[in-house]
Chains A and B, each alone.
Chain A
Amino acid sequence: MAEPTSPVPDPAAAWRAWLTQSEQQWNAFLNQVMGTDQYTQSMGRTMEAYAAIQKNMAEGMSRYLGALNMPTRTDILTLGDRLAMIEDRLAGIERMLAEAGASAAASDGASGAGLRPPRTKRPPSGVAAAGDGRVA
């Protein structure tokens, strides 16, 4: 079917096309700049500075909080890790209980899988696998 045509130009459509084109051009231009060795070198330096600042800040804050007799981030994280270990152990106990329950249910002939839908579905007739290597 033919596309609708209009004798009246559509400035909104032209503006949208310009936006898309400009975005592509700016992306291409900036990617070209970011693909240079100079940019990579500068980014590498920035990353190193960022890592160093983060490390120094963490160490400085740790000393400061220690002087105030307050817990540091590391202390909180250590507590978090211990809580995580407790969570893991709880999950392990839950798992063992669930497995024991499932075994008991299975021996009674009422397994958990039995409560789920049957695995009997067949592909609908006429299902054809997607074509090879094509743009759809």
Chain B
Amino acid sequence: MTAPGAAPAGPTLEARVREEVERALLRNVKGLEYFSADVPEMGLTPKDAVYARGTLRLYHYRPLAPEVYRVPVLLVMSLVSKAYILDLTPGQSFIEFLLRQGYDVYMIDWGVPRPADKRLRLEDYVLDFIPDCLGRIRRDSGEPDVSMIGYCMGGLLAVLYQALHADGPVKNLACFTTPVNFEGMALFSQWTDRRYFDVDRIVDSLGNVPPELMYASFEMLKPAARLAGQVRLWDNMWNDDFVKGYRMFDRWAADQIPFPGECFRQTVKELMWENRLYKNELVLGGRPVRLDRITVPFLHVMAEHDHIVPRASAADLVGMVGSADKKELLLKGGHVSLVAGANARGRLWPQLDAWLAERSV
């Protein structure tokens, strides 16, 4: 019995030994299951492709609420990863969460670039594809306004678009882990040092940058993480939720896609080498990109332990945007756990809902 005011007693030695033995047994049983079981299916929230163009698909998700907010939401995905990170299994899906909260959700999935897509540049995405999709959404929904949410490089595309279309249909803009000062991406900057990194030779030789190179570069940011992750997987093999989460994230992380060659060249030369967006010197399609021209309500969410888009590369974004109604949030988590999984479900998702709901009527 615990004395009043005293800290509750922890498990006894006997209980602890029993627990460890049980876990060890479960590890063996479930370890065998692990190698025979399939990875959970992801990206299953019902949706319809309302527009297709090349590899681009504009999806409309079927509403899950009896009434929806007036303003539809467009999710803009990154160019370098698969879109299903925002639609993991039921209960772990950001898109499912938005639908249940009453949002009418569309998403631009860029698909897997084909060899011919090596010619695509930032201009194609920002001045052509995104405006095209916004026009489709306005026609499909019958609403003049759209809220836009961009994740990682999708956030970058979204702010570039909005800076060049300040009078466009976007009513609210939310970005997750969006880089703006590329000098803040210390390791990427170092690895693409113009003295040693011949981006022209790579793009001219390979066309699109192969997914294995993209994967290797992300892995090198945390070189010990893979081994430690596998040790943790073994340690938690008794825990079904942990194993399921591990398999989903591991599958997504390894499921990289090629980076369109010209866009890669432009990203390295203009953003990494010259840092032109941060210096207000970026020009797309002959038009200067000035982030202070963004005046719509703006939210930027960063992750405290983001190793891909470190805070140093993202923290200036809110200050550069011209909106009077703007907000920055710094949440616990990493680059991926910010948007997906149990961490996101308890932190980012409700915070975004609280911000967006009152601006969606």
Q: Is A97 an interface residue (CB 8 A)?
A: no
Q: Is B31 an interface residue (CB 8 A)?
A: no
A58 to B331, CA, bound (A): 46
Q: Is A71 an interface residue (CB 8 A)?
A: no
- A134-B330 contact, Cβ under 8 Å, with A119-B68, A121-B65: yes
A92 to B18, CA, bound (A): 65
Q: Is B125 an interface residue (CB 8 A)?
A: no
Q: Is B32 an interface residue (CB 8 A)?
A: no
Q: Is A63 an interface residue (CB 8 A)?
A: no
Contacts of A136 in B (CB 8 A): 329, 331-332, 347, 351
Chain A: interface secondary structure?
Answer: helix
Partner of A95, one of B51, B198, B354: B51
Contact call A80/B114, Cβ cutoff below 8 A: yes
Contact call B228/A19, Cβ cutoff below 8 A: yes
A135 to B330, CA, bound (A): 5
Contact call A130/B187, Cβ cutoff below 8 A: no
Q: How many residue pairs bridge A and B at CB < 8 Å?
A: 175
Contact call A8/B358, Cβ cutoff below 8 A: no
Contact call A117/B65, Cβ cutoff below 8 A: yes
Interface size on B, residues (CB 8 A): 70
A2 to B361, CA, bound (A): 44
Contact call B331/A44, Cβ cutoff below 8 A: no
Q: Is B40 an interface residue (CB 8 A)?
A: no
CB-nearest residue of chain A relative to B116?
Answer: A81
- A88-B54 contact, Cβ under 8 Å, with A41-B196, A135-B330, A136-B351: yes
CB-nearest residue of chain B relative to A41?
Answer: B196
Chain B, range 299-327, C-beta contacts under 8 Å to A: 304, 327
Scan A20-47; emit 1 where CB is below 8 A from any B CB, else 0.
1011001100110011010011011101
Partner of A6, one of B9, B140, B190, B329: B9
Q: Is A108 an interface residue (CB 8 A)?
A: no
Partner of A121, one of B68, B206, B328, B355: B68
Contact call B358/A81, Cβ cutoff below 8 A: no
Contacts of B347 in A (CB 8 A): 136
Q: How far is the CB of B22 from chain A (nearest CB, A)?
A: 13
Give the contact stretch, choosing among B219-227, B241-249, B269-277. B219-227
Q: Is B231 an interface residue (CB 8 A)?
A: yes
Known: A27-B225, A118-B68, A122-B361. 15 other contacts (CB 8 A): A6-B9, A6-B16, A12-B20, A30-B224, A35-B190, A40-B190, A40-B193, A48-B202, A87-B52, A118-B67, A119-B104, A119-B143, A121-B361, A123-B357, A132-B327
Which A positions have Cβ atoms within 8 angstroms of B? 2-6, 8, 10, 12, 16, 19-20, 22-23, 26-27, 30-31, 34-35, 37, 40-41, 43-45, 47-48, 50-52, 54-55, 77, 80-81, 84, 87-88, 91, 95, 99, 111-113, 116-124, 127-136
